[in-house]
Amino acid sequence: MQTKSSLLTYKTISNQEAGEYLAKAVDLVRGNLDRFTDRFPYSNSEGGFYQPGDNREWTTGFWTGEIWLAYEYAKDPDLKRAGEVQMESFLRRIETGSDVETHDLGFM
């Protein structure tokens, strides 16, 4: 007989475990900065990997948000610099009106 899952059946993690998971997430973001500081992950993966692309479509803001969340946690100056590079790209996009006619503008 299959039991129904609920939030009450999941084990609560400790603060230490939460910190370890956050540190791992920050490491994953750091590990992608070489590919995705001046570029953005394409919205669809190819063979399980996201190719670098231009700042277009509405999904690019998710990666930028991950960078800023990682910076907020780790206070790593490399993350801040990457976030600033990304924000400059969004400013250029707004100034030039490039791909901004979308109801998903808030995600960017």
For the stretch 7-55, pLDDT in tens is 778 888 999 999 999 999 999 999 999 999 999 999 999 999 999 999 9
What predicted TM-score, i.e. pTM, was given to this entire model? 0.84
Which DSSP string do the residues of 17-65 spell out, in sequence order? HHHHHHHHHHHHHHHTTTTSSSSEE-SS-BTTBPPEE-S-SSTHHHHHH
